Chains A and B, each alone.
Chain A
Amino acid sequence: NAGVTQTPKFQVLKTGQSMTLQCAQDMNHEYMSWYRQDPGMGLRLIHYSVGAGITDQGEVPNGYNVSRSTTEDFPLRLLSAAPSQTSVYFCASSLRGPKLYNQPQHFGDGTRLSIL
């Protein structure tokens, strides 16, 4: 059971480039989310999805797009990379999501992204 798989693990981009961070889970989880983690800022929610075909914005959505065409996959797209998007990105999933009681999230091992 792979859990939550993120690719790539590391990426360096130039300002203005676009790219997609991949996230897949094999636990049939309804809820998936993307966070970025910066020193001293904790985990900040970028986008989340409560099921296939449904996505919504989190705390810091600007510059990022998501889609959820299947239950398993939740890719994060950087439209035009900026140095301010240099960060560690984590994808997470939970079975039914925070609306229900005791639904913890499980995290992928992260993507370290540097924008030059």
Chain B
Amino acid sequence: RKEVEQDPGPFNVPEGATVAFNCTYSNSASQSFFWYRQDCRKEPKLLMSVYSSGNEDGRFTAQLNRASQYISLLIRDSKLSDSATYLCAVSASGTYKYIFGTGTRLKVLA
């Protein structure tokens, strides 16, 4: 089993739709969680950290479910410009490595 897993997609959604992605992790000692956005042929850019109580940044909501060991990203009112690959990253206390998922591709259609 991979340490961090994501559904590769693509998720094809119409403009204005709400879409959610999950990212599961296997290490129960994981303490920090992040969502990154990566456009084609570009570097990953930090979208948001994920906090235990959940957090929101505009149309984006991130949540953590420690019992089931997954994080989620919800995008409301999707825009064409949201089309990208979304990567999750996890780090565990006492380790020196970030573990990335392979990403979920989102296409927002006009």
Contact = CB atoms under 8 A, between A and B. Distances in A.
Interface residues of A, number: 26
A42 B43 contact: no
Contacts, number: 61
Interface in B85-109: 87, 89, 91-98, 100-103
A110 B34 CA distance: 20
Given A109-B42, A109-B43, A56 B32 contact: no
A102 B44 contact: no
B91 to A, nearest CB: 3
Contacts of B102: 40-42
Interface in A9-58: 31, 33, 35, 40-43, 45, 48, 50, 56, 58
A98 B98 contact: yes
A16 B94 CA distance: 38
A43 B2 CA distance: 13
Contacts of B61: none
B49 interface: yes
A45 B97 contact: yes
Interface string B45-65: 110010100000000000000
A106 interface: yes
A70 interface: no
13 contacts: A42-B87, A42-B101, A45-B97, A45-B98, A56-B96, A98-B98, A103-B32, A104-B32, A104-B46, A105-B98, A108-B43, A109-B43, A110-B42
Interface of A: 31, 33, 35, 40-43, 45, 48, 50, 56, 58, 90, 97-99, 101-110
